[in-house]
Structure 1
Amino acid sequence: MRLIKLDATASTNTFLKELAKSGYLDDFTVVWAKNQTRGRGQMDGNWCTEPGKNLTFSVLKKMEGFQLNKHFELNMAVSLAVFRTLDLLKIPRITVKWPNDIMSGSHKICGILIENSIVGISLKSVIIGIGLNVNQSYFPGNPKASSLYNKTGILYDLEELLHSLMQNLEITLSMLQSGQEKVIHREYHSILFRKGVASTFKSGDGSTFNGIILGVGNEGKLRIRLEDDSLAEYDIKEITLLY
């Protein structure tokens, strides 16, 4: 792992992407910023954190020949790396909210954003952005956000936590590239937020409906049993889980 530390940057994903364009980078090059001023989340959402109190970093992973249609398995592998790290720290009630938000109870404590570099129908490399709320205690205007400190009362060493996350990330990505997709699928589904529980969803037109999450299909769509007992699959932009 090559670690590049920054005092501040707009986005670690953007910084690492531009750095990769300028020349050769080692596999698992990491850019870590103490202050990320314009962090990005899924669907162009913002990820704002208090400087110096959280982990905001991005990882370059070379994925030569990895088929693009297996992209969601990559999301699963990264989510599992974060889950395993936090589980070892005994953070309570850790789950993964589809597609890859990390939850503690009903609070979001970590977001993941993966951006691809594609050649033909295969991935060349990916940039994995991770924003983990660690020692921040207040999240004004965002009641569904929390942190490791809020959940445990412990202040964590950010660099130690980063190295632990990277160790688990190398393990789960190695599993993925060595053909252990079934293991990854099974573990991801075992920790899926609100799986098997009656839930309410909002569709793109603003209407709401009820259903039970059954799991995630091979293409990354959420599989839901509806109230009339029919099965439906939804993409990330099509529905929102209300909780």
Structure 2
Amino acid sequence: MTDYFATLSPVAQALIATLFTWGMTAIGAALVFTTKKMNQKLMDGMLGFAGGVMIAASFWSLLSPAIEMSEGSSFPAWFPAAIGFLLGGFFLWVADKIIPHLHPTSSMKDAEGINPAKRRRSTLLIFAITLHNIPEGLAVGVAFGAIANGFPSASLPAAIALAIGIGIQNLPEGTAVAMPLRREGMSRRKSFFYGQLSGMVEPVAAIVGVLAVTLMTPVLPYALSFAAGAMIFVVIEEVIPGSHENGYKDLASICLMLGFTIMMILDVAFG
């Protein structure tokens, strides 16, 4: 299976990988068909786990390869990683200020962006998860693009491991959109539809990432670091605070450690 996957173009590889991550979002959203109310303790644990996966992926799959790729260049090895990382966080910060959205655990008065009061709560919830799925899709795309460019620090198993890790953490994201919509009275089918819809942006972002790094090879270390910075911003700004709001801080922290460890093992074992 891996041998066949290796024969595909980078765009096809990234597309298949992010169709998987999108599918995992859909599985999370599908929980609306099996339960009326999500166990908050379980949800916070899942969010913590997702945060751990994202932190580990940001370093092992993105920042570390970016630093390795920059060795021997005219700039210090840390320079592209530092600049890209900060730009990624800045991009998400600006997007948060512009795009109207609402985090799943927040009330309408805490909605962010431009004129959020003019949008329905369901729309704001979808925008929030969709916005934060962009760096995840981008990360997968640049990982497969790096393989196409022949960088020694990039490998197909590592890129696949990254996609698997992101897919795992997409489960609670789909649930985090679908469940609140269901509680507001939306039908199960519509709640599922809008929950899985939030993952649709990942294949698009992945293709953009692949094309960017294959057409402009010198930007690859910056692109990897950019995706890492954007993902870390999401973890700090939304995932960790969201997992701590309901009194299950210890559980969320333990699950974050587990998520980090599992993603680290996946990346190191297959990298």
Question: So what's the TM-score if we normalise by structure 2?
Answer: 0.26
Higher share in strand: 1
Higher RCO structure, 1 or 2 (CA under 8 Å, sep 6+): 2
Higher share in helix: 2
Question: So what's the TM-score if we normalise by structure 1?
Answer: 0.28
